[in-house]
């Protein structure tokens, strides 16, 4: 492996309601080598799930139960084997929780 080349370890979709928190979480994941994207609306997140390979979906605490269920249902239908990380305490622990999800079987 060449020095300085990052290995993409998983494709992660971060969904939250606060754009600044979603941006911080996606940037933190990118610096760790993840291909991360973020969305703040359900429709945009569902569009991403329909058109991209997603390995892990991170759902922020601001997402209500109906939206959460719809996003999980879509993720499971469109992305076989997807892992769901539910962030009820905010995005502060996103790296460790994504790492845990990536390594779970």
Predicted local distance difference test score (pLDDT) of residue 3: 47
Output the pTM of the full model. Answer: 0.87
Residue 65 φ then ψ, to 5°: -60, -40
As a whole number, mean pLDDT of residues 42-56 equals: 96
Protein fold of 11-92:
Rossmann fold (3.40.50)
Q: Where are the alpha helices (DSSP H) in 39-86?
A: 42-51, 65-78
Predicted local distance difference test score (pLDDT) of residue 90: 66
Predicted local distance difference test score (pLDDT) of residue 66: 98
Letter string b/e over residues 36-63, b meaning 16 or more CB atoms within 10 A of that residue's CB: bbbbbebeebbebbeeeebbbbbbbeeb
Query: What is the H or E stretch that residue 100 is in?
Result: helix 94-103
- 96 or 66: which carries more pLDDT confidence? 66
pLDDT in tens, 75-104: 999 999 999 999 877 677 888 899 899 888
């Amino acid at each position: 492996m060449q020095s300085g080349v990052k290995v993409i370890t998983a494709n992660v979709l971060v969904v939250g309601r606060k754009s600044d928190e979603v941006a911080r979480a996606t940037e933190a994941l990118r610096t760790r080598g993840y291909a991360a994207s973020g969305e703040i609306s359900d429709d945009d997140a569902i569009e991403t799930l329909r058109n991209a390979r997603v390995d892990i979906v991170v759902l922020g605490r601001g997402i209500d139960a109906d939206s959460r269920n719809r996003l999980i249902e879509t993720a499971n239908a469109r992305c076989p084997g997807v892992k769901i990380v539910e962030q009820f305490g905010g995005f502060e622990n996103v790296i460790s929780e994504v790492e845990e999800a990536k390594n779970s079987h």
